[in-house]
Every structure is written in structure tokens, then in C-alpha cells.
Amino acid sequence: GENVEQHPSTLSVQEGDSAVIKCTYSDSASNYFPWYKQELGKRPQLIIDIRSNVGEKKDQRIAVTLNKTAKHFSLHITETQPEDSAVYFCAAPPKADKLIFGTGTRLQVFP
Amino acid sequence: GAGVSQSPRYKVAKRGQDVALRCDPISGHVSLFWYQQALGQGPEFLTYFQNEAQLDKSGLPSDRFFAERPEGSVSTLKIQRTQKEDSAVYLCASSPVGIGARQPQHFGDGTRLSIL
């Protein structure tokens, strides 16, 4: 069935270090892969997304890579800052009308 | 409006009561989604509208859950005879185009529902 696995579930890094979160999806029909950041008690916010015809996309300190053959995609945050601390969710749409989210990664950046 | 608006932000109800949650999507957005987010979990898909048509309701947990979007704008999620397990944050999201899930979705702040 449709499944998105996300690792790790928690991640602690020192300010300035890099953080990497990985997701694997099961349905090859997925062709759009967003990443959301959710702070405690707030709405999920789209931070970056990638389509299947692209292998990598960058936006300042954030990058996403996609390996369609292996069905996995990763979020990379460089030069982490305390305000990057939040829960991050990956997602994939096995169908045009349904987005399946990963289980989330709680990122803590220590000053 | 500037973003997706949901009301109420918090709702407390007694088990067995009916509740109605409202979502105002971004003006002009064609696609509207409802998700349920349990504590510590990712959002789980409930249902999807394209304009006023409900194209997918496969994620609704039971027939106690009902959603509508009669004029293709505001949507209401209704839960009848609420149970404790319905306690969660209910999120609404919208996107500007018809193939909704494969375009950026913009979320509201959600309604935190607590069933006593």
C-alpha cells in the first residue's frame, strides 16, 4: 500500500552543523515531493519541494535530493541555527488527490 | 484573505456531541484537503475537494465523519456522535490548481478538538 518512511525520528545537532533527514516512498506514481516544517502548535509550512524530473534543488541553506530509482529523497540543512528547531515532515502523493506524510523528524539545534 | 483560515481554533465537546469545523481556503484555490493530525504524528489524509466536488473521501475514519464544500469555497467538516478517539488537530489545506496533491499545499492553523 501507500507508505512513506522517514528517518531519523529525532535529530540533535550543534549550531552550525548540517542535518540530513531521509524518506522512502513506496508508490512509483509519486512525482512531487514536498517538505514541511512544523513548529509546536503551529501550521505545517512548506519549506521546499522537488519534482521527479529534477535530481536536486537548493534554496539558501536548504536542499532536497531525489533518487527516483531507489524511491528515496532527502532534506539537507546546512549551517543549522536554533530557529531551525522544529518537526520536519516529508510527503509524497501516490495519487493526484492524496498526500501521504512521513512520521516526522524532531530536529533540535543546540546553541 | 492572506492564508487558509480555520475556526474554531480550539473545540472541547462531550462524547456523543456533534461538532462542525470550518475552513476558509485561500481565495480562488481550487483544491481543498482535510487532514487529521494526532499528537506526535504526521497529518493523515481525510478527504479532498476539487471546487465543490468531493473526489476522494477514502480517509474518513467512519460514517460519523462528513465533509462538504457546497459553493466551492468554504468547507465544513462535521463529526457526529463524537468519540474520545476523535481528539486530534484537524488541518485544512488548499492549493490553486486542480491536481491538488501534486502542487504546493498551504495549511491553516488547524482546529484542536478535544473530546471529554
Three-state DSSP string of B88-101: EEEEEEEECCCCHH
- pLDDT score at A54: 81
Distance separating alpha carbons of residues A98 and B43, to the nearest angstrom: 12
Looking at the DSSP bridge assignments, the partners of residue B114 are: B12
Q: Across chain B, which distance is largest between two alpha carbons, in Å?
A: 39
Top mean pLDDT of A65-69, B39-43, B108-112 is at B108-112
Top mean pLDDT of A1-10, A89-98, B91-100 is at A1-10
Does A51 or B60 have the greater pLDDT score? B60
Pairing of strands B106-107, B88-95: antiparallel
Contact A38, A44 (CB under 8 A): yes
| Mutate: best of B69, B102, B106, B112, partner A, most A CBs <10 A | B102
Class of residue A14 by CB neighbours under 10 A (exposed 0-12, middle 13-18, buried 19+): exposed
> Is a pLDDT exceeding 80 seen at residue B2?
no
**Chain A partners of B48 at a C-beta cutoff of 8 Å?**
97-98
Mean pLDDT for chain B? 94
**Chain B partners of A93 at a C-beta cutoff of 8 Å?**
101-102
- The pLDDT-based confidence of B85 (bands split at 50, 70, 90) is very high
B29 to chain A, closest Cα gap in Å: 14
Class of residue B70 by CB neighbours under 10 A (exposed 0-12, middle 13-18, buried 19+): exposed
Q: What is the pLDDT of residues B12-71, one digit of tens each?
A: 999 999 999 999 999 999 999 999 999 989 999 999 999 999 999 999 999 999 999 999
Distance separating alpha carbons of residues B47 and B73, to the nearest angstrom: 15
- Measured from the Cβ of residue A71, the count of other Cβ atoms closer than 10 Å reads 16
Q: What is the pLDDT of residues A31-48, one digit of tens each?
A: 889 999 999 989 999 999
- pLDDT score at B101: 65
Place of cell 456523543: B16
Side-chain-side CA neighbours of residue A22 (13 Å): 7
Q: For chain A, give the percent of residues with pLDDT over 90.
A: 77
- The pLDDT-based confidence of A51 (bands split at 50, 70, 90) is confident
Distance separating alpha carbons of residues B108 and B4, to the nearest angstrom: 5
A44 to B107: CB separation less than 8 angstroms, yes or no: yes
A16 to chain B, closest Cα gap in Å: 27
- pLDDT score at B50: 92
Mean pLDDT for chain A? 93
Give me the residue from B31, B43, B45 closest to A44, CB to CB.
B43
A97 to B100: CB separation less than 8 angstroms, yes or no: yes
Interface contacts (A, B; CB < 8 Å): 62
